[in-house]
Structure 1
Amino acid sequence: MTTTATHLRTIALHWRDLHDAVGAPAQIGAFGLGLRGYLARLDELDAEQAEYARHQAAHLRSLERGPDQIGERPAPVRLVVLDTMRAVEMTLVECADQTAAVVQRSPMAYAPRSWPAADRARRDQLARADALDPRRWRYTGHRTAPYAALWLLARVKRAAGPFTALPERDEKRIATVAAGAAERVERALDIAAQRRTLEQRHDCGGAIDIHGGEGRAPLAHCTGCGRIWSEGGVAA
């Protein structure tokens, strides 16, 4: 069974791949909602290209330049991947905010002015170090998806730091968020083997299973008569 830790590591390790995929050509043969989803995916690609064209036109207008002018143009953007990155990052950062509010201990207080100078200096030094502890989750500044994933991973693994025990309800929330985020990352990159059964039955009455993912074009297989389809037509 895939663990929460594995899901969080998947997000952190593949975040750079998502950045690279934003500007890469889309893989039309990626696993979709079955072979019917292949045509839907083509429609999505057309929509992405149309959306990019609108952004491109707006960008050129803002610079008061024509499309035939010489100069660097913005690279095409895969909006599906970009939307995945935004959604995953927002969800993970929000989960880290909620978790930190529960388990992160407040920084040590500074010494009262009434303490002897030497004791006050030692206490204040400890208080500053505690407040600046790099293991603390910050509500401003460096709040990225991979950092949030690794911070949540440390909480799930019970790593040391200025934290109290992670309650079971919060651990379950992290597990749910991590599983959903990792699934979106894997789907956007097409790096996970997948199998689904269509609601639609074949003419023979058999169920139609779709196999794909991991960069492979999807195949449909009838569990009744054994017929196999590919995107190009009947394979066997």
Structure 2
Amino acid sequence: MLDEPDLESIFASPELPKIAEVINSKLAAERQARLRFRRELTPSVKAEFIAGEVVMHSPAKAKHLRVTRRLLKLLDTFVHQMNLGEVFSEKALICLTRNDYEPDVVFFGAEKASTFSPDHMEFPVPDFVVEVLSESTAARDRGVKFEDYAQHGIREYWIIDCDEKTVEQYILRDQETRYHLAQKLAGGSIASLVVSGFEIPVAAIFDDQANADAIANQFG
């Protein structure tokens, strides 16, 4: 994100009209490419549209799928039992101002979720996002997505590392557009600040027995 002095320098430049022309041309081309991406995207493909480029995703490794499944099971069960909204995994296309993403796990509060029809395919800004790191996605998860999610007011963002078995919990403070690291955990329990009442052992994300125990203890 450009700081105010950088913007002032651009605004004062004699080249501003030319800069604006280049930017507008670039964004117009992106809009057309984005429409084409959405038309051609099929349910069988996981892909994202980032800064004018289509990013195709390779099949996920077992460790990634297992971690995603365990968290999804816990979060989805809790959200539906408490009637808090809707949880989706992997294929929900969230459409931000410039980019389209398919996060690993997303939560929408009840108000937003109530607007989704059975055929809904292009989703608004979620309230909570989780990305599970992989070799091919880590740079984006910590880079453009980290910045974009914050800029769009997604109040809570978890980054899960399958290899380190850690969860990083990032939150937006009031009136801020940059994430604050609330905590990085390799054990103990983690409580969501957005999904009211949702608290789980960190181990339940990485271990099947701990996951089953958490479900039995919290939802049994």
TM score, norm. by length of structure 2: 0.24
TM score, norm. by length of structure 1: 0.23
Point out the structure with max Rg over C-alpha: 1
Specify which structure has the higher proportion of helix: 1
Specify which structure has the higher proportion of strand: 2
**Higher RCO (C-alpha 8 Å, min separation 6):** 1
